[in-house]
């Protein structure tokens, strides 16, 4: 099988998987429990989720390591388990993918705010936290790193730098945007064009967007990123719409069929890796995969 880098370089459209967090909740993860700890306490559940996405047509499985920095693990009393939990997360995905695709190791925000944005974390604090996590993910044998759901550009840049300094893996970096009167912006007010340019300049091999929006909004965000970076691969993992509260439960209303109906526009806008984020299921990924194959 060709390497992940080779597939991207030759222009293949690849299918990423869907939600992990909301899927874990559906399988019994309780409020206050650490999702990443389930890689050790409930490995069979995590593997079943990976298996469901692989069966749905995913080429890329993301590890259950989104909150795998020491900062995110500390409230659970697990700050000393960074290496163990991240190694376990990669191992489970690798067991399932078994040469049929690629493992992208998920790296989410630390939850800390950097000093220049009004917080108390230094850039080096964040760099070291990301370095500890990505080193373990690379050691575990991931095919790529996916720094995702970033709202702070300075934090994302520290993550990218740590990944490039500490590993030889391809690095993806995706941001979350909200729609407002001034168009799409991160929570810190930064445009898709700017985050794309700066993430790529820091070393990101693939840029993109995830979470925050349903698939229709992702088309315009992708266009703006493509305008800023005409030749850089773009990853898009949309939510199944924005979450709404119904009878005390959070639900995502976009159907697999609706998401699949937007794939042609998303590819035309510049997306090369397409999957799902919050609320998406194997049914969503199967519909997306079928649509991509129909466009091929």
The owner of tokens 């070393």 is 203
Q: What is the pLDDT of residues 191-245, one digit of tens each?
A: 999 999 999 999 999 999 999 889 999 999 999 999 999 999 999 999 999 888 8
- Please state, for a pLDDT cut of 90, what percent of the chain lies above it: 93
Q: What SS3 class is residue 2?
A: coil
Query: What Å distances lie between residue 19 and 64, 70, 73, 131, 287, CA to CA?
Result: 10, 22, 20, 25, 15
pLDDT band (50, 70, 90) for residue 248 = confident
- What is the DSSP secondary-structure string of 20-31? SHHHHHHTTPPT
pLDDT band (50, 70, 90) for residue 247 = confident
pLDDT band (50, 70, 90) for residue 293 = confident
Q: What pLDDT score was predicted for residue 161?
A: 98
Q: Does the pLDDT value for residue 296 go beyond 60? A: no
pLDDT band (50, 70, 90) for residue 249 = confident
56-80 mean pLDDT: 98
248-270 mean pLDDT: 95
CA distance linking residue 41 with residue 210, whole number of Å: 28
Considering its fold, how many domains does the chain have in total? 1
Both tokens of 206, joined, read: 């693939």
- CATH number, domain of 32, equals 3.20.20.330
Q: What is the pLDDT of residues 152-193, one digit of tens each?
A: 999 999 999 999 999 999 999 999 999 999 999 999 999 999
Range of the domain at 56: 4-295
105-133 mean pLDDT: 96
pLDDT band (50, 70, 90) for residue 250 = confident
């Amino acid at each position: 099988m060709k390497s992940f880098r080779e597939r991207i370089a030759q222009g293949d459209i690849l299918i990423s998987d869907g939600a992990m967090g909301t899927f874990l909740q559906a399988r019994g993860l309780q409020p206050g429990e650490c999702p990443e700890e389930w890689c050790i306490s409930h490995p069979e559940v995590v593997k079943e989720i990976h298996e469901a996405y692989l069966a749905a047509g995913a080429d890329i499985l993301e590890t259950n390591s989104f909150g795998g920095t020491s900062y995110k693990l500390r409230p659970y009393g697990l700050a000393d388990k960074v290496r163990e939990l991240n190694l376990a997360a990669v191992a489970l995905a690798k067991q399932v993918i078994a040469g049929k695709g690629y493992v992208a190791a998920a790296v989410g925000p630390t939850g800390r705010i950097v000093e220049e944005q009004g917080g108390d974390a230094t850039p080096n604090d964040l760099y070291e936290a990301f370095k500890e996590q990505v080193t373990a993910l690379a050691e575990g044998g991931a095919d790529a790193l996916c720094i995702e759901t970033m709202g702070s550009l300075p934090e994302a840049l520290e993550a990218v730098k740590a990944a490039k300094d500490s590993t030889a893996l391809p690095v993806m970096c995706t941001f979350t945007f909200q729609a407002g009167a001034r168009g799409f912006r991160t929570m810190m007010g930064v445009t898709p064009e700017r985050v794309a340019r700066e993430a790529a300049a820091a070393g990101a091999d693939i840029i993109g967007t995830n979470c925050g929006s349903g698939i229709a909004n992702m088309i315009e965000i992708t266009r703006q990123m493509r305008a800023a970076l005409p030749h850089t691969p773009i990853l898009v993992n949309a939510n199944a719409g924005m979450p709404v509260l119904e009878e005390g439960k959070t639900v995502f209303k976009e159907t697999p069929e609706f998401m699949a109906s937007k794939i042609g526009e998303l590819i035309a806008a510049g997306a090369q890796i397409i999957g799902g984020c919050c609320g998406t299921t194997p049914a969503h990924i199967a519909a997306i995969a079928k649509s991509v194959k129909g466009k091929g």
